Amino acid sequence: MAKHVSETPATQMLKRAGVMFTEHPYEYEEHGGTAVSSRELGVAEHSVVKTLIMQDEAARPLVVLMHGDCKVSTKNLARQAGKKSIAPCTPEVANRHSGYLVGGTSPFGLRKAMPVYCERSIFALDKIYINGGRRGYLLGLAPQVLRDVLQVIEVDCALQE
């Protein structure tokens, strides 16, 4: 029997949108990132999508969705987004913008409306695992959901780790 995880703003938003998803709770490790979650779930780290809260040169927040085993080229992202620069937010600022704790940030059910940039190659995957709004809690879903529910802006800014 799978452990039931209480609803989050992310799961509430997906349910309202009629999206099918699977729940994947796991033992969260501080600073373990997608290496730990992919190992715990027994899935490729490339199919675990991390949700990063970043900001542009005017400190306007934005979301970046990236493969777990890749880094974001902020230079390429800034160029494609038409910004002077993009940099990660501090954890405190990220928490304030998203309404989630870092390590438990979901692109669904964010506190603040922000543009969502998504690495284009994510859509080549059959299934992705993305944070469900709590540390140690991923949701399995079709990548197409990102397009359907979030109106993502597709970009090519992945750097292999």
Length of the chain in terms of residues written = 161
Calpha distance 122→60 (Å, rounded): 24
Mean pLDDT computed over 104-112:
97
What does pTM read for this prediction? 0.95
Calpha distance 114→96 (Å, rounded): 12
Residue of higher predicted confidence among 44 and 1: 44
* H or E element that contains 34: helix 33-41
Produce one character per residue of 115-141: b if its CB has 16 or more CB atoms within 10 Å, e if not: ebbbbeebeeeeebbbbbbbbbbbbbb
pLDDT digits (tens, 9 = 90+) for 111-155: 999 999 999 999 999 999 999 999 999 999 999 999 999 989 999
pLDDT digits (tens, 9 = 90+) for 30-83: 989 999 999 999 999 999 999 999 999 999 999 999 999 999 999 999 999 999
Class for domain 33-160, per CATH?
A: alpha beta
Residue 1 pLDDT grade (very low, low, confident, very high; cuts 50, 70, 90) = very low
- Residue 6's pLDDT is what? 81
DSSP string covering 70-136: EEE-HHHHHHHHT-S-EEEPPHHHHHHHHSS-TTS--SSS-SS---EEEEGGGGGSS-EEEEEEETT
Calpha distance 90→88 (Å, rounded): 7
- For the chain, the structural domain boundaries read 33-160
- Residue 161's pLDDT is what? 61
- Residue 4's pLDDT is what? 57
